[in-house]
């Protein structure tokens, strides 16, 4: 069964550094998402992306975050100038379409640790 793959599985970064999290969505999917889960808390929506632009973003997704689809297969989340509170598990997801009856399929996540 096709999967969403995320790399790396664990990223350790010094506070203030830039980090790029990578995702390969399922190949025929057109909608892409990033979520995060701080340890012990709920999974939170960050951003959705369709047709090479952001379609929706949360208030968490401020100017330090950006997303990009640099080629036909990868989908990246960049965090500029990381803070301690950015430490979390980051999940990428994709779906065939948006909205009704379109399940989102998740990767195994990247655990980001900011020191």
Partner 1 sequence: KQEVTQIPAALSVPEGENLVLNCSFTDSAIYNLQWFRQDPGKGLTSLLLIQSSQREQTSGRLNASLDKSSGRSTLYIAASQPGDSATYLCAAQGGNKLVFGAGTILRVKS
CB of 70 to partner 1, least distance (A): 21
Per rule CB under 8 A, is residue 65 in the interface with partner 1?
Answer: no
Per rule CB under 8 A, is residue 91 in the interface with partner 1?
Answer: yes
Check: CB of residue 93 under 8 Å from CB of residue 107: yes
Per rule CB under 8 A, is residue 101 in the interface with partner 1?
Answer: yes
Of 13, 58, 66, 76, which lies in the binding site for partner 1, with binding defined by CB under 8 A? Answer: 58
Q: How far lies 111's CA from each of 35, 40, 108, in Å? A: 12, 13, 9
| Phi and psi at residue 86, to the nearest 5° | -80, -10
Question: Which pair of structure tokens corresponds to residue 35?
Answer: 């979520």
Tell me how far apart the alpha carbons of residues 8 and 70 are, in angstroms, rounded to a whole number.
17
CB of 111 to partner 1, least distance (A): 8
Return residues touching partner 1 (CB under 8 A): 4, 6, 31, 33, 35, 41-45, 48, 50, 55-56, 58, 91, 93, 98-109, 111
């Amino acid at each position: 069964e096709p999967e969403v793959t995320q790399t790396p599985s664990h990223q350790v970064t010094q506070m203030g550094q830039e980090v790029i999290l990578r995702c390969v969505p399922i190949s025929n999917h057109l909608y892409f998402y990033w979520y995060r889960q701080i340890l012990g808390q709920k999974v939170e929506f960050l951003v959705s992306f369709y047709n090479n632009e952001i379609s929706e973003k949360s208030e968490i997704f401020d100017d330090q975050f950006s997303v990009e689809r640099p080629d036909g297969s990868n989908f990246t989340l960049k965090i500029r100038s990381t803070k301690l509170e950015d430490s979390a598990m980051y999940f990428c997801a994709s779906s065939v379409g948006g909205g009704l009856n379109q399940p989102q399929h998740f990767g195994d996540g990247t655990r980001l640790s900011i020191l």
